[in-house]
Chains A and B, each alone.
Chain A
Amino acid sequence: MNFLFKFFIKNNINSKRTIWISIMALIPVIFAAVILLLKPLFSDEGVTVSSLFPQVSVFLYIHFLLPLTAIFMGTAVIGDEVDGRTLPYLLTRPIPRRTIVLSKLISGAALTGLIFLISLLVTYIIMKQENGLHGLIQDADIYLGTIGIIFLGMVVYLSLFCFMGGLLKRPVLIGLFFTFGWESTVSFLPGNIKYFTISHYLHILAKRLYDSQFTNTDPKRALLNLLFRSKEISSEAAILILLAVACVFVFLSASLLYIKEYRLEKS
């Protein structure tokens, strides 16, 4: 497992996908830098750059970059070896098939997690620099909490898309539809249907983390929730549900390699 983990990390580092993910991880950094440059335009209205950090974290990282990178990384867990026709080298070794899936998943999560860790750190420093070093350290829990949510979300999305990648013929397309079609639409609907999305639970965790800074920014949603009496679950319950979803899809992905045959033709 240890060797396979290192092998797949190296594999991932050498893939174009990782370069693209790294480039995409620059988007929030550039966005933060632009906000900083435009600061004089809105400083009169009492809005600080620092106060926008939760919005940047939630909308750019949690709702956009996290699922998008997970689609490309997750569908590649089995899909890469199938498309690259290197699967026979793995399947004809005395290694349990679940170990192959787990090693690839963990290496994917570790590498993407590291990219996000750095990207978010730079964004955090740029946006919170007005409070000085003392402020940066004081708000470190916000940074650590955000990276925790991102990492948890990464594990859940990766396991889901890993399963899709092993099962479906066009997993990226279906993944994109799931994330930016289903999840985006449903999260704005009142009622309980949003409980069938991953983003909802991540949103709950983010809301609790940013507390007063964030909940007040979305009065329409608060009103809708009030009207339709949609109950919000606790952070602990959200974490448990996300972990359970991850476990189910890791299990299903590993089982897939035991059940499904991959008939690889010459390229």
Chain B
Amino acid sequence: MNIEAKNLSKWYGQVVGVNNLEFTIQSGVTGFLGPNGAGKTTLLRLLTGQLKPSKGNLLINGNPVWNNYQVLQNVGYCPELDNFWDYLTGFEFVRATLCMHGFSLSEADIKAEEAIHVMNMEKFQNKKIGSYSKGMRQRIKMAQAIAHNPPLLFLDEPLNGMDPLGRRSTIDLIKEFGEQDKTVIVSSHVLHEVEEMTDTILLVNHGRLLAEGNIYEIRELIDNHPLQVTIISNKVNILTSKLLEFEDVKSVQLNREENQITIETLSPEKFHKRLPELALDNNIKIKSLWSPDENLESVFDYLVR
């Protein structure tokens, strides 16, 4: 299955959803990576025919998606929205979505059971979705997306709210789909999650495509981004002077009133290794340490600059 975006834009009045996107996606797993509000969900809604492109084309195997319900025969979609017909049980929900795909009730029963088994939800399949936890709701959403064995899977933040075990098994499942030659698109704002599923990503921010291709190349860009670390200590003056001796420390900002310093380092690993030693040698107490920009947003800001 081949997905092609040509000059694709979507505006909501004055607000830009996605802007002038050009990409081609082949089979395998592709990650849509970007911070919240980057345009990932808009892109997935365009891909599933829920939204009409304001400009340009979006084609699946050469066919436009908007108002073309036949294309959806091959699509499985796990929406980001956490809403259901809550009175249905998990099994009834998956079965209903299968029947909407044209399966008979008996076929739907078998396929629903299989999908629920894959998502490890057998124990809860006869409970009402209204009583499900966030993680269970996420898994049943995944079950309805994969139940009809579609060659195209669009998964919007599928790991949201899942427990570590659920995350692990879902990541493995997504990788398995990729190996089966299905075209899987996964959106996420968490870099390491996407890294575990695929090495092909589309990096989006503010509706624009920032980078496309191998995740390791993008990783390199990210590694060049200096990491900020904030430390609260009892001896900020001594700590500041000692830290300035480190080659990889680009800058140090001192806030005496709050006994706080913020440094920028080009080698976070080295920095974190040397800091405890420095503290011990100089009898410095580190009360608190955190990185204010250890998230994708700052990386995007850096890439955009």
Contact = CB atoms under 8 A, between A and B. Distances in A.
Interface of A: 3-4, 7, 11, 14, 84-86, 88-97, 258, 261-264, 266-267
Given A89-B97, A261-B51, A261-B52, A94 B85 contact: no
A264 B81 contact: yes
Nearest to B12: A263
Q: Which DSSP category, helix, strand, loop or mixed, fits chain A's interface?
A: loop
A266 B80 contact: yes
Interface in B75-103: 75, 77, 79-85, 87, 96-97, 99-102
B96 A7 contact: yes
Contacts of B101: 93-94
A3 B84 contact: no
B69 A94 contact: yes
Nearest to B97: A89
Contacts of B82: 266-267
B80 A92 contact: no
Q: Which 5 A-B residue pairings sit nearest by Cβ, starting from the closest?
A: A85-B83, A93-B100, A94-B73, A14-B87, A3-B99
16 contacts: A3-B105, A7-B99, A7-B100, A11-B85, A85-B83, A86-B84, A88-B79, A92-B49, A92-B72, A93-B69, A94-B69, A94-B102, A258-B67, A261-B52, A266-B81, A267-B81
A94 B76 CA distance: 11
Contact of B69 (A84, A89, A96): A96
In this complex, the interface size class of chain B, counting residues with CB under 8 Å from chain A, is: 20 to 34
B128 to A, nearest CB: 10
A156 B97 CA distance: 30
Interface string B104-132: 01000000000000000000000000000
Nearest to A90: B100
Given A84-B85, A90-B100, A94-B69, 12 more contacts: A3-B99, A4-B100, A7-B96, A86-B85, A88-B45, A88-B77, A88-B79, A88-B81, A89-B97, A92-B48, A92-B79, A263-B12
A96 B68 CA distance: 8
A114 B116 CA distance: 36
**Most chain B beta-carbon neighbours within 10 Å: one of A88, A91, A95:** A88
A92 B50 contact: yes
Nearest to B75: A92
A14 B129 CA distance: 14
Given A261-B52, A263-B51, A95 B83 contact: no
A7 B95 CA distance: 11
Contacts of B71: 94
B283 interface: no
Contacts of B144: 89
A97 to B, nearest CB: 7
A2 to B, nearest CB: 9
A262 B102 contact: no
